[in-house]
Structure 1
Amino acid sequence: MSPSGVRRQWEVVPSDIAQKTHNPLRNVVENLRLEPNPEKSMIALSIGDPTVFGNLKPPVEVIEAMQESLLSIRYNGYAPSTGHQEAREAVARYSSSAAVTVHSQDVVLCSGCSCALDLAITVLANPGQNILVPRPGFPLYRTLAESLGIHVKSYNLRPERGWEVDTMHLEQQIDASTAALVVSNPSNPCGSVYSRQHLRDILQVARAKFVPVIADEIYEHMVFPGQTFHPLASVSDDVPILACSGITKRFLVPGWRMGWITIHDRHGIFETAGVRAGLQRLSQRILGSNTLVQGALASIFTRTPEKFFQDTIMTLQCHANIAYDMLKGAKGLTPLMPKGAMYMMVGINMAEFPDFASELNFVEQMVTEESVFCLPSKCFDYTNYMRLVLTVPEEQLREACHRITAFCKRYHRPEDADSHKGNTDVVETCTSNCSAALRESRDLIVPKDASISP
């Protein structure tokens, strides 16, 4: 700009927020050389959208609830920025239990759980402060925070203990600038489900350091038989919590973009600090979530049969068993049996694959030769693992595991007997009867939209 303050040429630049925004997952994937074998159909075990393969569908009751909302002509206009009262009441009832009570004034409806996480991070942290996120962990936490100038620090999860939080490392990561702790349970990418006692241990660190918690619970209740989902708020007596969830995963409707924040503030800490009012103001930036879905929420929650949830869980557990049983025999791999969600982490003993410099090269070459794509753990700020999605139809999953096993056999170079093992297998095989009849699905490689990131 000239000294007079008048522009004499175009000087348009992207904003600081735009320049700081990046998705680590997308950055990793787009820099991979993904050239599938033309002689083999592509099997993408990378896509975190349970609907894309066509074998998992929402129940008819959910579809009918949306049709009724649309035909009622009651939900075509704007809603209050935090959501219609009846929709917030429905979420409050859905989120309440014997251990925790949620009121409608504790609910902020958002455009998907990702939007809920965005608001939760934005309301608690300022530029220059930091938030703590799990490693390995969902990359969107970093994307949202760093775009706002908020630093991200990672605390370690322990694969040998079912991906529990290393609470000692967590405590060491907290400093005077830490604004919030993000806890993911059940976990993407690990498929872990935390016990009540472990959640207490995490909360004890937060309590001792006076750090509020953002609970990412989008996979709530998606736990395998024998496991129990404990909402973090049901365990806390005094730590203030913003719990983020939605209907995306459990009800198999990610494109409907309906999520929420539930505020848990038993001692008025958020109230005194103005966090509630801050969420109200931030919600006015997005002007509310999808009103048609809001109109259907009460019916979605009350009409969805329990059998639908049970069938979905049994399918996911069945697929986890298949992948675990098939890959535990693959040379150089250590699958870790998940306890819930839709994912399995598989350790790669890179010392036994000397042809590859990292797990990035490993999965890249596996696409080239076998047309099977798993997300490398670099996407989740981790090394020497890959993440498998368990929502693919059974036939494709079995074929993918056969190809992965063949690929490992081809490149495996055993270490000496006295050398270390790369990963520790800490779970036992589960068995179940699985249906052989699954619907046909189209072959997919990673699309250019954001569907791989959830």
Structure 2
Amino acid sequence: MPHPSLATRASLREVRYDIRGELSRRARELEAQGRHLVRLNIGNPGAFGFRAPPHLQAAVAAHVPQSDPYTHQQGLPLAREAVAEHHRRRGTPNASAERVFIGNGVSELIDIALRALLNPGEEVLLPSPDYPLWSAATLLNGGRPVYYPCRPENGFLPDPDEIEARLTACTRALVVINPNNPTGANYPPELLRRLAGIAARYGLLLMADEIYDGILFDGATFTPLAPLAGDTPCLSFGGLSKVWRACGWRVGWAVLSGDPLRIGDLHHAMDLLSAMRLCANVPAQFAVPAALSGPDTIAALTAPGGRLHASRRAVIEGCAASPHLQLVAPAGALYAFPRVVGPAAEEFDDQAFALELLESEDLLVVPGSGFNLPASRHFRVTLLPEAEVIGDVFARIHRVLERHALRARARHVA
């Protein structure tokens, strides 16, 4: 007698992660058929020929013999102290190793933090578009995402008044992703001060996703949130994945700052949850001091003449060359978020558009709706391929959008 299918957790039906979703599965099928795809869906530097800096590799290799035991649930003391010192230099209040958590990437730490914080039905303020892991982790930990818009006409920066209007008695946290994934927006200090002020007035936890803090273009500068927050509780997230191009090492950190009396319960809860997963992977934690005290290896890539700078320029030029695209030039991070405009945007379905790009042009992008952006006419591409590849990519995108525009014009004639 056949057994019924196992039921799965109901909240998973609300969770989406289109970055590695159905389109990615279809891409694997096409690659199995021998198709060569250009994958623009994931900010994965190692897949595009980038390497973690040699001094980080050497630090890990030198400490393999010391990596067999479990370490403290919050991370290696030397790694935590390096993160704390990094934050002290930034001006993070009360930064200390005791308030640092090392995780298997920032993704794990986001989940731990939200699990420690949320009771069923409590709300987290998230940007729209957001990095979808934030929405997923909120839902899976019993919370409810409440989105504040970040509109392209405002450079993808949020309006603090709109954020404040979305507050309820159930709001527990305000998430700030800066520099932003997927848009590349870089938040100015005055905006960050206003966001910190909202959190202070309403007793919210600030959650600052700053994993791209060193990836900036054309003179943009990064402002950390915790120093502006002062005594307001703030969790600042960073790691080795992007700035140091070590995604597969899975090393992230979270720094808890603010009034010690207000953060004590959250610290205890995060420590408990960290202990239950025993510890983060140990070998790569030995690279943290080398990363935070060693030479700057990202600036040469983002400065004029650098590979990332050239690729970003190719994206900007590719969008400018097409009458069907508009782009807010990314000031930071590893992505661009173009918008389809004009006749090509009529009756536009961003999922169908992404599938057409995949099937007809061998390009894998992420639809804007995958970042919790309703009625999206956007898509996300990564800046990681070589500039020459990106030039060809946007020629292919233009071909598909030209077909969309021709069909729209034909409908009007009919």
**Do the two structures share a fold, i.e. TM-score over 0.5?**
yes
Contact 2:129 2:371 in 1 (8 A): yes
CA deviation digits over 1:115-148, x for unaligned, max 9? 1111111121111211111100000112112112
Counterpart check, 1:43 vs 2:32: no
Tell me the equivalent position of 1:345.
337
- The separation in 2 between residues aligned to 1:194 and 1:83, in whole angstroms, is 30
- The structure with higher relative contact order (CA 8 Å, sep 6+) is 1
Partners of 2:117 and 2:398 in 1: how far apart?
46
CA distance in 2, matches of 1:76, 1:350: 59
Note the aligned Cα RMSD (angstroms).
2.7
Give me the whole-angstrom Cα distance separating, in 1, the residues matched to 2:155 and 2:166: 21
Counterpart in 1 of 2:412?
none
Cα pair distance change 1:149/1:234, threshold 3 Å: same
> C-alpha distance in 1, partners of 2:66/2:10?
37
Q: Which amino acid aligns with 1:68?
A: A
Structure 2 CA distance for partners of 1:413 and 1:206, relative to 1, 3 Å: farther
* Cross-structure match for 2:357: 366
TM superposition shift of 1:362:
1.8
**Count of aligned pairs between the two proteins:** 400
Q: Taking structure 1 as reference, are residues 329 and 32 closer, same or farther at Cα in structure 2, changes over 3 Å only?
A: farther
The one-character-per-residue Cα deviations of 1:351-409 (angstroms, maximum 9, x if unpaired) are: 4344x541222222222222222211010011110111000122211211121223323
Q: Within the alignment, does 1:264 sit opposite 2:261 as a pair?
A: no
SS in 1 for 2:237: strand
Picking from 78, 88, 91, the partner of 2:80 is 88
Q: Which runs of 4+ in 1 moved over 6 A?
A: 9-12, 35-40
Summarize the alignment of residues 74-153 of structure 1 with structure 2, pairs less than 5 Å apart. 74-101=66-93, 102-153=95-146
- Rounded to whole Å, the distance in 2 between the matches of 1:21 and 1:327 is 33
1:134 is paired with a residue whose SS is strand
Q: 2:345·2:377 contact (CA, 8 Å) conserved in 1?
A: no
Q: Aligned residue for 1:174?
A: 167
- Give the CA deviation at 1:309: 1.5
| Counterpart Cα distance in 2 of 1:366 and 1:413 | 16
Structure 2 SS opposite 1:336: coil
Alignment partner for residue 399 of structure 1, among 383, 392, 399? 392
What amino acid does structure 2 have at the position aligned with 1:368?
A: E
2:287 to 291, 296, 313: 296
Distance in 1, Cα, partners of 2:248 & 2:24: 27
3-state SS of paired residue (1:96): helix
1:203-242 map, 5 Å: 203-242=196-235
Tell me the residue number matched to 1:309: 298
Aligned 8 A contact 1:120 1:214 in 2: no
Decide whether aligned partners of structure 1 residues 265 and 19 sit closer, same or farther in structure 2, where only a CA change above 3 A counts: same
Q: TM-score, normalization: structure 2?
A: 0.89
Whole-Å separation in 2 of the counterparts to 1:153 and 1:350: 30
Inter-CA distance 99–252: structure 2 relative to 1 (3 Å threshold)? same
| Distance 1:402-1:30 versus aligned 2 partners, 3 A rule | closer
Q: Which amino acid aligns with 2:316?
A: Y
Q: 2:383 aligns with which of 375, 380, 390?
A: 390
Give % identity.
Answer: 25
CA distance in 1, matches of 2:377, 2:66: 52
Letter aligned with residue 367 of structure 1: L
Q: 5+ residue gaps in structure 2?
A: 410-414
Rate the CA distance shift 1:402–1:352 in 2: closer, same or farther, 3 A. closer
Residue by residue over 1:311-362, the C-alpha shift from the partner in whole angstroms, topping out at 9 and shown as x without a partner, is 23232222111111122121221022000100001001264344x5412222
Rounded to whole Å, the distance in 2 between the matches of 1:25 and 1:367 is 14
CA contact (8 A) 1:319 1:391 kept: yes
How many Å apart are 1:17 and its aligned residue?
7.3
CA–CA separation in structure 2 for the residues paired with 1:187 and 1:350 = 26
Q: For structure 1, which segment, 384-393 or 16-25, has the greater mean C-alpha deviation from structure 2 after superposition?
A: 16-25
Name the SS of the counterpart of 1:51 in structure 2.
helix
Q: Is the 8 A contact 1:28 1:378 kept in 2?
A: no
Give the distance between the partners of 2:25 and 2:268, measured in 1 at CA.
44
Structure 1: runs of 5+ lacking an equivalent: 1-8, 417-454
What does the per-residue CA deviation read over 1:69-114, in whole Å, with 9 as the maximum and x for residues that have no partner? 11xx222101011112122111111232253252111101111100
**Aligned partner letter, 1:161:** N
- The answer to whether the 8 Å contact 2:118/2:142 transfers is no
